[in-house]
Chains A and B, each alone.
Chain A
Amino acid sequence: MGVTDFPAVHIACHECDLLVALPVLRPGQHAYCPRCNFLLTANRPDSQSKIFAYSIASLICLALANLFPFITLNARGMEQSVTLLGSVAILATEDHRLLAAVVFASIAVIPALLLCGLVYVSVAIRIGRELPGARTCLRWTIALAPWNMAEIFLIGILVSFIKIVSLADVELGLSFWAYALFTFGVVLVSLNFDRRELWDLLDAARAAGHSSHA
């Protein structure tokens, strides 16, 4: 039995291997595997525009989060203010470079790469042309997704905030709020992310590009 017998409407469940014939989903419908209940794919209204918009908005928020003080600490007349990059630099100077690198990668570098990748793929989809490397880009985006820890860092900030409150006055700076918005955007992007849909749209972009060249 050749591959042509299974056109694009079939999907093999990632978690139990059942071969499922996908119906056309109405907006808002989700397709779950009948055997193991895995979410196979979903038709989320305007998900592509949402991914594009939230990705750009989040990237702007991340850039803003680097400009202002993140947290300010007041203890016995001493004031200490750190920025996001500054705090990573402090960790690195205390001879814990590997720890600093791990933290910085998982809270800023990886989510930023993810969002940039999605913006690039979205542009390719929206202009209806296959941009160079768009496929590699989407593949890497999918591979990096589990390593993004922005929202966990936000919880970490809140926990440390509560821990320090008993020792000193702490103030959350402008950058903290920018980072919180960035995190919120990343979560919204991941809620609208569907790998099958993005690959289908990239395929459609390639087809459109070929027909316009011909």
Chain B
Amino acid sequence: MRPAPRGIRPMHEHTATAMGVQGCPVCTAVLPIGTPYCARCGTHGHTLERAGMTWNGSMQRTWAWLLTSVLLYLPANFLPIMYTRTWGNLRESTILGGVLTLWGHGSYPIAIVIFVASVLVPVGKIVILVWLCLSVQLRYKSARRYKTRLYRITEFVGRWSMVDVFVVGILVALIRLGNVMTILPGPAALAFAGMVFTTMLAAGSFDPRLLWVREA
């Protein structure tokens, strides 16, 4: 599926930064470093600040989003994500509680889907991003290819955590059988959605080129 790069050789052993240029992240134009505005696509601001590979801007934003996502992940797990009201009884369920209930009912495939999307992916994503940030800041240079691939996977799978929020939304909209059974969303649903968005913003703020900077 992924052929080795055919016919492509690096022009020099040089990075764009070493040649005094930078790639526009939006339209891939090659611009002189420090250009505040890309004439080809009209991008400006911190999207173009990538030049010069200073880790300050990128790292600060990544850490800030990561911290926010951790703070949102706590209520997302401990507060109820969904209330089920049957004949006047109100039962609340958390994310993990929901997974355990599904497992107990023998719905192993959905239990696994929800567990992976709501627990494994977000926690894994936060851990990987923290590790990548630390390895940039501590100038820990090994396994760059591997780390870049991890970053790529993190960026790709992040959105899939939203599954559980959508499930809650659909159940709320659908199961409104008056006294028999009504489902209401809990505060964790919004916290969890916020957590997914902030981890996506954290991954987007992280600049993987920093993993490849040679000189300290």
Binding site for B on A (CB under 8 A): 1-3, 6, 8, 10-23, 29-38, 41, 71, 73, 75-76, 78, 80, 82, 86-88, 90-91, 94, 96, 98-100, 102-103, 106-107, 135-136, 138-139, 142-143, 146-147, 149, 152-153, 155-157, 159-160, 162-164, 166-167, 195-196, 199, 203
Q: Which of A76, A103, A164, A196 contacts B27 (CB 8 A)?
A: A196
- In contact, A33 and B15 (Cβ under 8 angstroms): no
Q: Which of A15, A91, A102, A196 contacts B193 (CB 8 A)?
A: A102
**Interface membership of chain B positions 141-185, coded 1 if the CB is closer than 8 angstroms to chain A and 0 otherwise:** 000110011011000000110111111011111111110110011
- In contact, A99 and B5 (Cβ under 8 angstroms): no
CA distance A171 to B169 in the complex (A): 18
Q: Across chains A and B, which 8 residue pairs bring their CB atoms closest together, nearest first? A: A12-B23, A156-B166, A87-B173, A12-B16, A17-B209, A160-B170, A21-B11, A199-B27
- In contact, A96 and B170 (Cβ under 8 angstroms): no
- In contact, A18 and B176 (Cβ under 8 angstroms): no
**B17: A residues at CB distance < 8 A:** 17
Known: A12-B16, A167-B181. A32 touches B2 (CB 8 A): yes
Binding site for A on B (CB under 8 A): 2-12, 14-17, 19-23, 25-32, 40-43, 53, 102, 105, 107, 109-110, 113-114, 144-145, 148-149, 151-152, 159-160, 162-167, 169-178, 180-181, 184-185, 189-190, 193, 200, 204, 208-209, 211-212
Query: What are 9 A-B pairs with beta-carbon distances under 8 A?
Result: A1-B20, A14-B23, A17-B15, A19-B30, A37-B5, A73-B174, A99-B169, A99-B193, A149-B162
Secondary structure of the B contact surface, majority rule:
mixed
Q: Which of A82, A99, A167, A203 contacts B185 (CB 8 A)?
A: A99
- In contact, A78 and B190 (Cβ under 8 angstroms): no
Query: Shortest beta-carbon distance, A131 to chain B, in Å?
Result: 15
- In contact, A19 and B21 (Cβ under 8 angstroms): yes
**A17: B residues at CB distance < 8 A:** 15-17, 23, 53, 209, 212
Query: Shortest beta-carbon distance, A37 to chain B, in Å?
Result: 7
**A2: B residues at CB distance < 8 A:** 32
- In contact, B20 and A12 (Cβ under 8 angstroms): no
- Nearest-CB residue, chain A, relative to B160: A152
CA distance A41 to B43 in the complex (A): 20
**B209: A residues at CB distance < 8 A:** 13-17
Query: Shortest beta-carbon distance, B86 to chain A, in Å?
Result: 10
Known: A16-B209, A136-B42, A163-B167. A142 touches B173 (CB 8 A): no
CA distance A60 to B181 in the complex (A): 35
**A91: B residues at CB distance < 8 A:** 169, 172-173, 185
- In contact, A38 and B152 (Cβ under 8 angstroms): yes
- In contact, B11 and A20 (Cβ under 8 angstroms): yes
CA distance A78 to B169 in the complex (A): 20
- In contact, A80 and B169 (Cβ under 8 angstroms): no
Known: A86-B173, A99-B189. A12 touches B144 (CB 8 A): no
CA distance A76 to B53 in the complex (A): 64
- In contact, B170 and A19 (Cβ under 8 angstroms): no
- In contact, A80 and B40 (Cβ under 8 angstroms): no
- In contact, B190 and A99 (Cβ under 8 angstroms): yes
Query: Shortest beta-carbon distance, B67 to chain A, in Å?
Result: 21
Given contacts A3-B31, A99-B185, A146-B204, 4 further A-B contacts (CB under 8 A): A32-B5, A73-B175, A75-B180, A102-B193
Query: Shortest beta-carbon distance, A145 to chain B, in Å?
Result: 11
